[in-house]
A and B are shown apart, each in its own frame.
Chain A
Amino acid sequence: MRIAYRDAVREAIRDALKADPRVFLMGEDVGRYGGSYAVSKGLLEEFGPQRIRDTPLSESAFVGAGIGAALGGLRPIVEIMTVNFSLLALDQIVNNAATLSHMSGGQLSVPLVIRLATGAGRQLGAQHSHSLEGWYAHIPGLRIAVPATLDDARRMLAAALASPDPVLLFEHLYLYNMEGELTPGLERVDLEHAAIRRAGRDVTLITYGWSLYKCLAAAATLAQEGIDAEVLDLRALRPLDDAAIMASVRRTRRAVIVDEGWRSGSLSAEVATRIVEQAFYDLDAPVARVCTAEVPVPYAKHLEAAALPSPETIAAAVRNLLTSGAGG
């Protein structure tokens, strides 16, 4: 049966609401409107306003309320409409959700799930096109996961709700319309392991989110040129799956990190550093990166496209690595 990404997320939320009376969904326009990206459409009618809770535009208050409700014994799913608006709740996420377990000497835990739409590509301009998941991955105490596939969109939420820690799930806005088939019989996924989405011998493309599909497209192009690229979907940005990254890089001896975030002080920098720290002598070439240009993401279609990673720029970085041995 074909299913769209947004429907997979909705089914996951519906399952969770049915399975556990402590679970509820709260956020801006999740109820009457049906969700800004139509993810929660129909859930208000099915579960009622106590469990599908529309909030005012008070990101800090309703994210903090999610933390408090988690402390109070519930299992909230808080939807922040987009990562861009999460900056208004940064105090609650960074100062409270991430610290309370440690700061209380382990007395408290914050079993909170926050879902956020992330990313660029829809000509929404600088304030609606951020990819800040790498920023959040900087913070000890948080768990960061990125469902890029339909299976993960369908199954990651249950794993996040089962975690006693605060989990941020980043859904790339470009993926909501993606359709395909779920893997039959798949019941459980975790929030800790990367997955090889395409096996290859010559280079590892390390990526996550929407960029996964750009990497797969680049790999298809490269295959016609006789270059066999492996594509590793990180799935979790915190904790990073070092073992999977190193195992792949040791096999292919080359790594290109593809990240829609900016490169300075970034997740891609972290992954590159870990490779250098742990697998330097297994490399045949410097680690390369393809990231978003260091500009606020512009509106005009051609400028936005030029700013973001693309299958072409990814393939070019791989060719460069294989021919000159130099970084992209």
Chain B
Amino acid sequence: MAVAAVPTATPVGGDIPRGFTWAVRDCWTEASRHLRALPRNPEVLAFSTIQPVMFVLLFAYVFGGAINVPGYDDYLQFLLPGIFAQTVVFGSTFAAVGLAEDTTRGIADRLRSLPMFGPAVLIGRTFADLIRNVFTFVVMLVVAFLIGFRFEGSLAGALAASLLLLGFAYAFTWVNALLGVSVGSVEAANSASFIWIFPLTFVSSAFVDPRSMPSWLEPIARNNPFTIATNAVRALYNGRPPGADLWLAVAWAVGITVVFAVLASRRFTASTR
């Protein structure tokens, strides 16, 4: 492409701030958009509190008496860490729906036309989702305690388990962020996120011991990263050694976060649509 003279800019306004501080500020500005809106959206709040409570009670009382798991006298101690894990991973789907909404309503276009740090839109979103998930998790933990769940190990172990849960859910928020910026509609985002989250969380050790599954399904369930995370969390809450599961789960969480954060950010900032 032959370029003759490039016209010179007429100076209007100042330079565009670049660098780490501004990127962080942009992330926070975007996160605060969602955090500020959170208490105003009764449906989201209801979903974030009622559903987890319902899950805990339903699973505990419906399955509680019927299932025996080797190694656990009390099924609740086995089951509830699985429900915690499933609920926070379900909570990660908000990102897909929210980002699809931003895209279809033209908000994404507006943001992409601003002189801001582009990935801040996604980082802010995932951070706000993390905060909401913390809230959900605390509510769920309180209900679990009310029906008899206890930390059998150290408090530090329980804290580590809780952090692992939230970190693991955060990683999946990025998978959903990629879905949200890729699909064309809110409905599609909703089904696209649940279509893999259901098998991911059920073909796992969350509710039953994988050894009770058909032989072709068992290895899948056993190697499912969700199983690995659930096992690590369950061991920590019950004061048992998590073994390699702990580090494997952390590695999965970090790996998924890095890969999907890069993919989603690229997709969002690319000038291709």
State yes or no: do A and B come from one complex: no
